[in-house]
């Protein structure tokens, strides 16, 4: 998905949408690796795929943390802006 396929009205310039798309793709990758594990019977390969899936899960957590930071910052900015509109 290119940056032009979605538009965000907020100041963050599509960052949230970009991170949501990254989150979706990382989650799909973890699902792919989990499905691959089901058909694997070699311990070395299973361990390798498990390590990859765990690394992706760690990336998912980082994306979620960043999204939470952006949302919290946005709420603060929205509050400040609304205080000037009174």
Q: Say if CB 26 and CB 59 are below 8 A apart.
A: yes
| Token pair in block for residue 68 | 């939470």
| Domain presence at residue 6 | no
- Residue 45: inside a domain, yes or no? yes
Does the residue 26 lie in any domain? yes
Q: Answer whether residue 47 shows pLDDT above 90.
A: yes
> How high is the pLDDT of residue 13?
62
Count up the domains in the chain and report the number. Answer: 1
How high does pLDDT run on average in the chain?
84
Mean pLDDT of 13-37: 91
Residue 4 lies in a domain: no
Could you tell me if residue 2 is inside a domain?
no
SS3 14: coil
Residue 1 is assigned to a structural domain of this protein? no
Is 50 among the domain residues?
A: yes
Residue 23 lies in a domain: yes
Residues 6 or more apart whose CB falls under 8 angstroms from that of 1 comprise 21
What domain range is 58 assigned to? 11-84
């Amino acid at each position: 998905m290119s940056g032009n396929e979605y538009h965000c009205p907020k100041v963050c310039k599509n960052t949230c949408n970009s991170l949501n798309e990254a989150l979706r793709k990382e989650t799909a990758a973890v699902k792919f690796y989990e499905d691959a594990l089901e058909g694997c019977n070699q311990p070395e390969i299973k361990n390798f795929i498990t390590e990859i899936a765990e690394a992706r899960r760690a990336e998912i957590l980082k994306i979620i943390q960043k999204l939470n930071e952006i949302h919290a910052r946005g709420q603060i900015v929205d509050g400040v802006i609304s205080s000037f509109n009174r």
